[in-house]
Structure 1
């Protein structure tokens, strides 16, 4: 019996995925198109009516000439530019709600490839949202969700009756990371099949990180919010919607789970809609910020 949207989407995936797996075609681009098409169908089914959202493929841009790599699926609002004689679009990063990189199988090699592809989006976002462009002024953007998450994580407030609170360097970095997370697109790696165990999935990510310790592009804000490998997921605890308190001053910002991946994806979307409601109803404003710290 279907009780939730997650059940419905899981049923579609359960029924349609074997059809794709059994297609005799060996042409890699065609295989990729099939799995991306199934992902787009699932996303379209999940989108609520009346919000003006749609699913497209193409590229993210920042308005200053920078483009991301080619992206399998983007959940977008507003208007984009359709590339001539293709079904691909170029969309401004400020109007991209989610980006999904799709893989038939997600193991170590595919994990690294997809991670690198989504970093082209986060690089554009970080540059855009921390720039001095006048177009960044947004009188309807509230920093209340990030401030609340920071307080829940640390037990400290970022603002009192006298103004901004003085925070230690490390906590200031975390707070600004949360601000960036709030406005960034939801970045997802969706592997239809993958690791046979949650432990193997975690180990592969740890190995990848150990090879890149200290390198630019591997801070918490560069990580996808959700990585799905078959039945297992790696999830970011950034307060949007999942959160973990600091442990001895450390931020455990990633965790693994065998929870239904589509339910997790829906939770990220629901949190975005909740934040949009807060933006409409909260009077506290934020225009822009700059941060040159490690995150």
Structure 2
């Protein structure tokens, strides 16, 4: 079953079960909490793959933590707490942590955020494993358009280094989700409540730092009713730094929240388990509608580094207008770009200093007036990067496709996405004729 189909089924299941739970005339808070935690556990169990050694547990702990987490997805066996159904798991074996709320209003956002914000403290001594490094690398590539090797090469700006350190930590941390089944009646109120909470925790001076509000402290996903907020850390979705070095790291949406839920968890699982193919994502030829919510960038103040934030204050009407699914498409290349990309597909790199014929080739009979201008446009495609004066591919399996109408397109085809798009496009062009 494709991810979109399962997401639709799960969403219908959640809506139906939520209504049943909402109608229960129960006033005992622990019992109410247990009902919604049980529903979340059931949804998570329906979302994972039976062939993997995974378990969904409730009311359990990460080793070293005094916080009880509502629902967790874990690998292997933990330590059972005597005379309970609860467990303690080593940090590296915890894949997903979910805090559950029947209702998610302003006070619940504050409480849920606090429960998740300092999970980072339990991961200080966790060593990065190969799957974590791959995830970190891909996330960094999508946001900074450079490889993680740029750190050692000394070619990161202060802003990029802030993102580098954040994503390295994100790749080690579990997926953190705050799920409220009822709450805000519109997306604007949901966003505004979270921003109000953040504004109340701004550090006014370096002598009174309020910790726990860096990008890595934010949950990966917050769901309230049919609305979502999600982190764009490249694991899976990523938004590149803009020209002013702002990173649009937190977005919101009114689209099916269970799809974001599945994408987040399945992405983590495909990196962790080699036997799990990228085919689980189906055709993957659409882009879910998300709206910019919070941008961030590193900032120095009185010799100390911290994060500054920018809030995209859209009206509710504007948020409703921008809720249409878009089609994914590869990058269209011009003739010069294709030649260079094709050359990089054949060999690992192009020497920008010692290749004395390169600039002449780029300028000859083209609109480009300099090699530098050409490189800036080529880097903007997200297909290449420059390190130590060498031009290299930023993708794992870059491929180019010639179309009957004369276009040349390129993309990373490691998931087969480009191949699926090309087949669909060929059918579309055939039907047009």
Match of 1:89 in 2: 87
Match of 2:53 in 1: 52
Q: What is the rounded CA distance, in whole Å, between the counterparts of 2:196 and 2:59 in structure 1? A: 30
How far 1:120 sits from its partner (Å)? 3.7
Match of 1:158 in 2: 148
Q: Residue 240 of structure 1: SS of its match in structure 2?
A: coil
Rate the CA distance shift 1:93–1:58 in 2: closer, same or farther, 3 A: farther
Q: Residue 178 of structure 1: SS of its match in structure 2?
A: helix
Residue 217 in structure 1 maps to residue 212 in structure 2: yes
TM-score (norm 1): 0.85
- 2:168 is aligned, of 173, 176, 179, to 179
Match of 1:287 in 2: none
Q: What is the rounded CA distance, in whole Å, between the counterparts of 1:165 and 1:142 in structure 2? A: 22
Q: What is the rounded CA distance, in whole Å, between the counterparts of 2:58 and 2:156 in structure 1? A: 41
Structure 2, unpaired ranges of 5+: 204-209, 278-303, 308-433
Rate the CA distance shift 1:60–1:170 in 2: closer, same or farther, 3 A: farther
Match of 2:135 in 1: 145
RMSD after superposition: 2.5
User: Relative contact order, CA 8 A, sep 6+: which one is greater?
Assistant: 1
Match of 1:28 in 2: 29
Rate the CA distance shift 1:116–1:14 in 2: closer, same or farther, 3 A: same
Residue 128 in structure 1 maps to residue 125 in structure 2: yes
Q: Residue 9 of structure 1: SS of its match in structure 2?
A: helix
Higher strand share: 2
Q: What is the rounded CA distance, in whole Å, between the counterparts of 2:128 and 2:107 in structure 1? A: 40
Q: What is the rounded CA distance, in whole Å, between the counterparts of 2:164 and 2:60 in structure 1? A: 29
How many residue pairs get aligned? The number is 272
Rate the CA distance shift 1:141–1:11 in 2: closer, same or farther, 3 A: closer
* C-alpha contact 1:59 1:68 (8 A) present in aligned 2: no
- 1:170 is aligned, of 145, 149, 159, to 159
Cα deviations across residues 217-273 of structure 1 (Å, max 9, x unaligned)? 100000000000101001001001111111211112101101111110000012112
**If you compute each CA radius of gyration, which structure gives the higher value, 1 or 2?**
2
Match of 1:73 in 2: 71
- 1:236 is aligned, of 231, 238, 243, to 231
Rate the CA distance shift 1:154–1:240 in 2: closer, same or farther, 3 A: same
